[in-house]
Amino acid sequence: MRRTAAEAAETRRSILAAARASFASVGYTATGTTELVEQLDLTRGALYHHFADKADLFDAVFVQLEEELNDAVNAAALAAADDGVRASMVAGARACIEFMGASEYRQIAVADAPAVLGLERWHEVDRTIGLESMRLGLEALVRAESVDLTVTPALVTALFGALTELGLSRARGDLSVDEALTGFLTILDRIAPPG
């Protein structure tokens, strides 16, 4: 029996949700595709129609998680927009650090993704999804506060990399949210001093 596009999309969403819950709770290695298809009452063919293998499924879950991280950052920044661009960037940075400290992110993105996907793919996904938000934020800050700063790809990458590393330090438990945020603000205030 042929399925409609809506049914296929729903099946894909169900597989992603179940896999994500399992990857977050027991990790990549302990997550079995047999258990997933049994849990969802699917055939193995249905799983492999949507995903080439378990690593491909994990990649899709990781991309989804990184997109949610970016959405959380943008939502927090937008919510603080009435307080100015700098406050918006700080709110976004805090949201990033908090999101990265969650146990689900820690297990999927920090513990498993580098080993399963490799560091190159990990960085590609992270950079592709979040770097543009950092660039837009810096450009808005320069315009709003008349900061004497040229926003270059190198500068955007450096600040984005700093925020990513601070978030990873939070995820590993090395820093509190406030310590990580203070680190980000120290760098931001050096390159774009408050007016």
Please report the DSSP string for 105-130 in residue order: HIIIIIIIHHHHH-HHHHHHHHHHHH
Q: What is the pLDDT of residues 124-147, one digit of tens each?
A: 999 999 999 999 999 999 999 888
Q: At how many degrees (to 10) do helices 5-30 and 54-79 cross?
A: 100
pLDDT above 60: residue 2: no
Summarised one tens digit per residue, pLDDT across range 54-82 is 999 999 999 999 999 999 999 999 999 99
* Residues near 142 by beta carbon (within 8 Å), at least 6 away in sequence: 149, 151, 192
User: Tens of pLDDT along 147-179?
Assistant: 889 999 999 999 999 999 999 999 999 999 999
Total residues belonging to the chain: 195
* 0.85 exceeded by pTM: yes
| CATH for the stretch 1-51 | 1.10.10.60
Where would I find the H helices in the chain? 5-30, 33-40, 44-50, 54-79, 85-100, 103-105, 113-117, 119-145, 153-172, 177-191
* Each residue's pLDDT tens digit, 11-47: 899 999 999 999 999 999 999 999 999 999 988 888 9
Residue 1 has pLDDT above 60, yes or no: no
**Is-contact 184 91, C-beta < 8 A?**
no
- Contact at 8 Å (CB) between 119 and 127? no
